[in-house]
Every structure is written in structure tokens, then in C-alpha cells.
């Protein structure tokens, strides 16, 4: 009769240490795992996109810093050349003044 039916809906059959689920329960479990896996994949994809965006921002900042560094180097080089020209010019003027001073002393 119905009471001795082999229908095990909602029941688990224990075989050794492994619990076997009814096919419908197994299907539900597989679907739930698939949904969970899809959510995890979506989360990973979202994290990947965020990381790519951050990497792009870092690369842009790196390029800007390199550009600033190059501008600072060029400005430093210009200042250095300006100072060297001024020093040389000052030295020549000093030498010229000294020569003129010696000539005036000799004339006196």
C-alpha cells in the first residue's frame, strides 16, 4: 500500500557515512551551488574591474609624476647653466677690473 511506498521525498537515505539526497533535493542543491558560484564570479569580475581602474589611475599618476620630474630636471638644468654663466661673467669682470686697477697703479 501507500504506507510501504518507496517514495522518499524529503527523506535522506544514509549509505555508510555519505548522505544521499532525493534527486529533487540534489537538483536544488546543485542549483543553489550554481547560483552561489555565479554570484562569486560576478563579485570577482567586479573586483577585477575595480583593480583595473585603480591600476589605470596609478599608471596615469606615474606618467604625470615622470612628466613633472622631467620638467623639474629641465628647470634645474637651466638654473645651473644660468648660475655657471653668471659665475664666469663675474670672474671675467673681476679679472678685467684687476687688470684695469693694475694699469692705473702703474700709471700713477
Q: Render 75-99 in DSSP notation, one character per residue.
A: HHHHHHHHHHHHHHHHHHHHHHHHH
Tell me what pLDDT residue 94 has.
Answer: 86
CA distances from 70 to 42, 64, 79, 81 (A): 42, 10, 14, 16
Weakest-pLDDT range from 19-23, 27-31, 43-47, 71-75: 19-23
**Which range is least confidently modeled, 3-12, 67-76, 80-89?**
3-12
pLDDT-derived band at 4 (thresholds 50, 70, 90) equals: very low
The partner residues of 14 in beta bridges, in order of sequence, read 19
Residue whose grid cell is 671675467: 92
* Residue pLDDT, tens place only, 24-65: 999 999 999 999 999 999 999 999 999 999 999 999 999 999
> pLDDT band at residue 105, thresholds of 50, 70 and 90?
confident
Q: Is 17 helix (H, G, I), strand (E, B) or coil?
A: coil
Q: What share of the chain in percent tops pLDDT 70?
A: 83
What mean pLDDT is reported for the chain?
86
4 DSSP 8-state letter: G
7: left (phi over 0), alpha (psi -120 to 50) or beta: beta
Amino acid at each position: 500500500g501507500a504506507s510501504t511506498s518507496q517514495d522518499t521525498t524529503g527523506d535522506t537515505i544514509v549509505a555508510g557515512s555519505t548522505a544521499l539526497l532525493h534527486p529533487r533535493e540534489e537538483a536544488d542543491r546543485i542549483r543553489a551551488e550554481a547560483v552561489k558560484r555565479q554570484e562569486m564570479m560576478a563579485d570577482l569580475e567586479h573586483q577585477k574591474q575595480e583593480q583595473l581602474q585603480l591600476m589605470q589611475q596609478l599608471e596615469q599618476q606615474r606618467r604625470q609624476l615622470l612628466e613633472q620630474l622631467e620638467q623639474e630636471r629641465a628647470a634645474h638644468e637651466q638654473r645651473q647653466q644660468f648660475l655657471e654663466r653668471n659665475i664666469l661673467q663675474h670672474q671675467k669682470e673681476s679679472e678685467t677690473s684687476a687688470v684695469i686697477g693694475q694699469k692705473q697703479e702703474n700709471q700713477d
